[in-house]
């Protein structure tokens, strides 16, 4: 019988899939307590835009093949890194 490894992914979804198909008791001898946070939560920031502004951002994002929220995040990070 081969010893299966515990998933090392950073993806919450992949980790959930792993544990949906495995039993924790099968890994008792390899578990260790972790005291610091494993996953960092992002902070959600709301911004107010006029409907025409939102539409312009959506069009720009569509041209780049990304979501408008990803485009806004990209723009904010560009400003943060150049400030």
Q: 77, 69 in Cβ contact below 8 A?
A: no
Q: pTM for this one?
A: 0.54
pLDDT tens figures, 41-73? 889 999 999 999 999 999 999 999 999 999 999
Write the CA distances from 13 to 9, 17, 31, 58, integer angstroms.
Answer: 9, 6, 20, 27
Q: What is the pLDDT of residues 5-53, one digit of tens each?
A: 888 888 889 988 988 998 888 888 888 888 888 778 889 999 999 999 9
């Amino acid at each position: 019988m081969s010893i299966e490894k515990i998933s090392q992914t950073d993806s919450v979804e992949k980790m959930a899939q792993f544990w949906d198909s495995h039993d924790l008791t099968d890994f008792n001898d390899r578990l260790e307590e972790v005291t610091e946070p494993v996953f960092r939560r992002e902070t959600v920031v709301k911004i107010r835009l006029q409907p025409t502004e939102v539409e312009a951002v959506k069009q720009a994002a569509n041209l780049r093949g990304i979501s408008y929220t990803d485009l806004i995040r990209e723009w904010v990070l560009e400003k943060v890194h150049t400030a």
